């Protein structure tokens, strides 16, 4: 009887309890049985797989870090682990929604995940208005990459940026995430939300989170994750005092607050309120913060 063989890999697809694992030794993708304790896996999970006479089985899970969560009814579910960067995709149309951007950024900030903003559809005429909406984020030193999945502009820069590690694409539906993925990974045949000519209905976009390999085999080629149907990241149970940390422009003023657990919503001696009063921070930024604080407090995630 031959001894069981083991190899390491990264989860690139989850189907219920089963997972597809990208082998680190030969770069192939293999279907595996779940962990015995039936821990729910997520893309990006680092696992050990044992190959015995019963087939491939995931036998160990590395400690998770740099996680992103998807919101579910009064809770959150792990969506991806070991995320190296979050690419928040916005578009000229539908225009950027700062509240949504801020939520994505807070989730990434809390896990030390780098954030890059992409403004897609710059081939459309209303591009200047969209650029203006992203002005505050440029001022906070978030890189903003302009792309057109249709005309091809900026796609190579995005490919370069995602060349290593695990990159998650997120953004409002309709901004062009799947289109960008298709431009980056030709033939990946991901569903683009166009209306189906024969049925007249939007094409069904799967909610299975999958990773596409970019170019060369692991570990050279980056992995790219689309997040179909994810409208926001789960902030359920998020520590309220940490929310302001995700606002790069509010963060420097938090230290001036009289109370260490100040939530910057009218407490006396609040450094953030003072910064807004002095015009050092835009009132809309503080308002966005207060809206998110309110929704997390209400348990809306």
Ligand X SMILES: Nc1nc2c(ncn2[C@@H]2O[C@H](COP(=O)(O)OP(=O)(O)O)[C@@H](O)[C@H]2O)c(=O)[nH]1
Q: Which two tokens stand for residue 33?
A: 């049985």
CB of 194 to ligand X, least distance (A): 5
Among 9, 96, 136, 176, binds ligand X (CB under 6 A): 176
Site residues (CB under 5 A) for Zn ion, limited to 206-265: 257, 262, 264
| CA proximity to 231, closest of 55, 119, 71 | 71
Q: Minimum Å distance from CB 245 to ligand X?
A: 28
Do the Cβ atoms of 250 and 286 come closer than 8 Å?
Answer: yes
Provide the 3-class DSSP secondary structure of residue 62.
coil
| Residue in this structure with the two tokens 């809206």, named with its chain if needed | 291
Contact status: 178 vs Mg ion (CB under 5 A): yes
Using CB under 6 A as the binding rule, whether residue 178 contacts ligand X is answered as yes
Angstrom distances, CA of residue 77 to CA of 45, 71, 212: 14, 6, 21
Does residue 121 sit in helix, strand or coil? coil
Residue 96 touches ligand X, criterion: CB under 6 A: no
* Residue 16 or 125 having the CB closest to ligand X: 125
DSSP string, 178-197: HHHHHHHSTT--PPP-PBPT
**Stretch in the footprint of Mg ion (CB under 5 A) among 35-43, 125-133, 157-165, 227-235:** 227-235
**Is 192 near ligand X (CB under 6 A)?**
yes
d(CA 53, CA 51): 7
User: By CB under 6 A, is residue 194 in contact with ligand X?
Assistant: yes
Contacts (Cβ under 8 Å, ≥6 apart) of 201: 195
194 binds, among Mg ion, ligand X, Zn ion, none (CB under 5 to 8 A by kind): ligand X
| Residue 270 makes contact with Zn ion by CB under 5 A | yes
Residue of 17, 72, 124, 208 that binds ligand X (CB under 6 A): 124
> Among 173, 188, 241, 295, which residue sits at the site for ligand X (rule: CB under 6 A)?
173
The answer to whether the beta carbons of residues 134 and 119 sit under 8 Å apart is yes
CB of 175 to Mg ion, least distance (A): 9
Q: How far is the CB of 207 from ligand X (least distance, A)?
A: 12
Cα separation, 87 vs 165, whole angstroms: 13
Q: Using CA atoms, how far apart are residues 250 and 264, in angstroms rounded to an integer?
A: 10
* Interface residue list for Zn ion (CB under 5 A): 257, 262, 264, 270, 272
* Interface residue list for ligand X (CB under 6 A): 120-121, 123-124, 148-150, 171, 173-179, 192-194
* Interface residue list for Mg ion (CB under 5 A): 177-178, 228
């Amino acid at each position: 009887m031959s001894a069981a063989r083991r190899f390491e890999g990264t989860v690139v697809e989850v189907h219920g309890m089963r997972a597809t694992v990208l082998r680190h030794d030969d770069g192939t993708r293999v279907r595996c049985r779940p962990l015995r304790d039936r821990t729910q896996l997520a893309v990006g999970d680092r696992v050990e797989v044992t190959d015995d006479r019963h087939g491939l089985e995931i036998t160990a899970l590395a400690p998770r870090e740099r996680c992103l969560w998807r919101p579910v009814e009064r809770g959150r579910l792990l969506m991806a682990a070991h995320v190296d960067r979050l690419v928040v995709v916005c578009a000229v149309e539908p225009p950027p929604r700062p509240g949504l951007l801020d939520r994505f950024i807070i989730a990434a900030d809390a896990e030390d995940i780098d954030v890059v903003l992409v403004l897609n559809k710059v081939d459309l005429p209303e591009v200047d208005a969209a650029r203006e909406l992203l002005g505050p984020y440029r001022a906070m030193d978030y890189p903003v990459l302009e792309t057109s999945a249709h005309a091809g502009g900026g796609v190579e820069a995005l490919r370069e940026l995602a060349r290593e590690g695990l990159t998650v694409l997120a953004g409002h539906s309709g901004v062009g995430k799947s289109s960008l993925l298709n431009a980056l990974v030709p033939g990946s045949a991901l569903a683009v939300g166009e209306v189906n000519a024969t049925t007249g209905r939007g094409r069904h976009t799967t909610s299975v989170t999958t990773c596409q390999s970019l170019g060369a085999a692991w570990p050279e080629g980056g992995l790219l994750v689309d997040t179909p149907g994810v409208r926001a990241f789960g902030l359920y149970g998020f520590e309220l005092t940490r929310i302001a940390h995700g606002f790069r422009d509010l963060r420097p003023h938090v230290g001036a607050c009289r109370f260490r657990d100040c939530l910057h919503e009218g407490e006396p001696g609040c450094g953030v309120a003072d910064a807004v009063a002095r015009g050092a921070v835009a009132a809309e930024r503080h308002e966005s913060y207060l809206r998110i604080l309110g929704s997390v407090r209400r348990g809306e995630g």
